């Protein structure tokens, strides 16, 4: 397998709130390999954005770092000295948010914002930076780039703004691109184009991508691996093929069953109930109260992360050798039957 570029281990972050301490992420571990797309999926509130903000060093002021490490090139980013902060975060590791305006300066022409990254971070002379910025705009699919160089963010559509943010990341020579719901605010056609762009850049530049989404459907054709998050933990992780065609965790089953546009569309099931209040995380498997497959032990004791294959792990008591065999939901059966017939 390709080399590791990022290694997140036992990462835990809480927040002080007026109601008490909220445990947003509770021991998140994963590796990111060079040139791969790792998707992190889960319902709203599961801790996806907190995970990505922790990597970027962008946690809110009321956050409490509870422990864990984020290794990048032999350095623990959680212990990074101030002077190295901007060399890595926002540069080698760049992030794209749902709202591109949050990373663009509204009063500076877009081309100049790209050129500034080249001048200040890469030390490029001004004229060369302008030329290169225009090339980068073209490479992310902005036509008439030489004219549009001088335009302001408000003169661009949402999809085009997202392309500019991506061009800035490229100007920073990013190795890791963290995309946090980058297409959620865009309509479906534009969404597809942005996904295509991210995919192409990944291949052309051997970028490593963390792609965060609440929608498994979005990553079906682009993720190499998928981590499924629930209540601040990764409950299942595996290759895309393993998560789609051989899922083991009932929460992953529920996510798959609630996906429209799959073979399973006739059996579309919303996930019943709501995620837990993380000020009072439930005992045992946090998904148990919503899980019709829950065993008695799920309400008492947290399941270990069972190994399914070298690339596939899931935290569910159903994988215990003595667990009863259960009938998986219809949607999952349909997917399992497709396995082997589907070429990636
Ligand atoms: N600054 C904050 N203060 C208090 N709670 C927060 C803060 N940021 C995030 N949270 C809480 O942390 C949990 C995880 O949030 P988040 O990572 O944003 O979820 P998502 O998976 O939707 O991206 C949620 O319960 C959220 O309400
Ligand atoms: Mg989020």
The alpha carbon of 185 and the centre of ligand 2 are apart by a number of angstroms equal to: 13
* pLDDT for the residue numbered 317: 98
* Domain match, 188 and 279 both: no
* Domain match, 48 and 175 both: yes
* Domain match, 25 and 47 both: yes
Crossing angle (nearest 10°) for helices 188-205 and 158-171: 10
Of the three residues 193, 223, 253, the one that is the final residue of a domain is: 223
* Domain match, 157 and 281 both: no
* Domain match, 204 and 241 both: no
Q: Please work out, in degrees rounded to the nearest 5, the angle formed at the alpha carbon of residue 69 by the alpha carbons of 67 and 71.
A: 170
Which tens digit of pLDDT belongs to each residue from 123-173?
Answer: 999 999 999 999 999 999 999 999 999 999 999 999 999 999 999 999 999
The alpha carbon of 24 and the centre of ligand 1 are apart by a number of angstroms equal to: 6
Q: Please work out, in degrees rounded to the nearest 5, the angle formed at the alpha carbon of residue 286 by the alpha carbons of 14 and 16.
A: 15
Split at pLDDT 50, 70, 90, the class of 343 is: very low
Q: Tell me whether residue 18 is in a domain.
A: yes
Which of 47, 211, 251 to probe ligand 1 with, by most ligand atoms within 8 A of CB? 47
Closest CA to 145 of 132, 128, 158: 132
* pLDDT for the residue numbered 246: 94
- Residue closest by Cα to atom 4 of ligand 1: 15
Q: Does residue 18's CB lie within 6 angstroms of at least one atom of ligand 1?
A: no
* Domain match, 215 and 250 both: no
Q: Tell me whether residue 138 is in a domain.
A: yes
Task: Beginning with the edge strand found earlier in the chain, give each strand of the sheet holding 63-72 in spatial order.
Answer: 20-33, 4-17, 63-72, 75-76
Closest CA to 230 of 258, 255, 263: 255
Phi-psi category of 339—alpha, beta or left, where left has phi over 0 and alpha has psi -120 to 50?
Answer: beta
* Domain match, 287 and 143 both: no
**291 lies in which domain range?**
227-339
* Domain match, 71 and 210 both: yes
The alpha carbon of 61 and the centre of ligand 1 are apart by a number of angstroms equal to: 13
Q: Tell me whether residue 206 is in a domain.
A: yes
- Residue closest by Cα to atom 25 of ligand 1: 45
Q: Tell me whether residue 111 is in a domain.
A: yes
Q: Does residue 48's CB lie within 6 angstroms of at least one atom of ligand 1?
A: yes
Using a cut of 0.85, tell me whether the model's pTM lies above it: yes
Q: Which residues lie below 8 Å from residue 325, measured CB to CB, with a gap of 6+?
A: none
324 pLDDT higher than 50: yes
Q: Tell me whether residue 154 is in a domain.
A: yes
Q: Does residue 60's CB lie within 6 angstroms of at least one atom of ligand 1?
A: yes
Tell me how many domains the chain contains. 2
- What average pLDDT does the structure give for the chain? 93
Which tens digit of pLDDT belongs to each residue from 2-30?
Answer: 699 999 999 999 999 999 999 999 999 99
* Domain match, 247 and 124 both: no
* Domain match, 190 and 283 both: no
* Domain match, 100 and 175 both: yes
Of the three residues 223, 248, 267, the one that is the final residue of a domain is: 223
Which tens digit of pLDDT belongs to each residue from 33-43?
Answer: 999 999 999 99
Of the three residues 158, 188, 223, the one that is the final residue of a domain is: 223
The alpha carbon of 45 and the centre of ligand 1 are apart by a number of angstroms equal to: 6
* Domain match, 170 and 315 both: no
Q: Tell me whether residue 322 is in a domain.
A: yes
Q: Does residue 276's CB lie within 6 angstroms of at least one atom of ligand 1?
A: no
Split at pLDDT 50, 70, 90, the class of 67 is: very high
344 pLDDT higher than 80: no
The alpha carbon of 24 and the centre of ligand 2 are apart by a number of angstroms equal to: 11
Q: Tell me whether residue 344 is in a domain.
A: no
CATH number of the domain residue 104 falls in = 3.40.50.300
- Ligand 1: which atom is nearest the Cα of residue 212? 23
Q: Tell me whether residue 272 is in a domain.
A: yes
* 200/2 Cα distance (integer angstroms): 18
């Amino acid at each position: 397998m390709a080399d590791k570029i990022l290694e997140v281990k036992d990462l835990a972050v809480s927040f002080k709130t007026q109601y008490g301490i909220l445990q947003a992420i509770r021991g998140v571990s994963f590796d990111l390999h060079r040139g791969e797309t790792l998707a992190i999926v889960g319902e709203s509130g599961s801790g996806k954005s907190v995970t990505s903000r922790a990597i970027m060093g962008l946690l809110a002021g009321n956050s409490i770092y509870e422990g864990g490490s984020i290794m990048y090139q032999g350095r623990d980013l959680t212990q990074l000295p101030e002077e190295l902060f901007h060399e890595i975060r926002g540069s080698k590791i760049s992030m794209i948010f749902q709202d591109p305006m949050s990373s663009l300066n509204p009063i500076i022409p877009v081309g100049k914002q790209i050129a500034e990254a080249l001048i200040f971070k890469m030390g490029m002379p001004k004229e060369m930076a302008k030329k290169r910025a225009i090339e980068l705009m073209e490479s992310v699919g902005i036509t008439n780039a030489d004219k549009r160089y001088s335009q302001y963010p408000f003169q661009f559509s949402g999809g085009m703004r997202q392309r500019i943010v991506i061009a800035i990341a490229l100007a920073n020579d990013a190795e890791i691109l963290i995309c946090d719901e980058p297409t959620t605010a865009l309509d479906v056609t534009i969404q597809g184009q942005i996904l295509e762009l991210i995919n192409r850049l990944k291949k052309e530049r051997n970028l490593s991508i963390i792609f965060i989404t609440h929608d498994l459907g979005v990553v079906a054709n682009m993720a190499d691996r998928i981590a499924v998050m629930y209540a601040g933990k990764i409950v299942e992780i595996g290759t895309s093929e393993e998560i789609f065609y051989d899922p083991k965790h009932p929460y992953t089953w529920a996510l798959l069953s609630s996906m429209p546009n799959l073979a399973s569309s006739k059996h579309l099931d919303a996930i019943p109930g709501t995620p837990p209040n993380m000020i009072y995380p439930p005992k045992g498997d946090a998904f148990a109260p919503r899980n019709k497959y829950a065993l008695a032990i799920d309400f008492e004791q947290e399941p270990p992360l069972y190994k399914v294959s070298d690339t596939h792990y899931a935290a569910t008591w159903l994988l215990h050798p003595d667990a009863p065999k259960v009938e998986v939901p219809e949607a999952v059966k349909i997917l399992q039957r497709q396995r082997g017939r589907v070429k990636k």
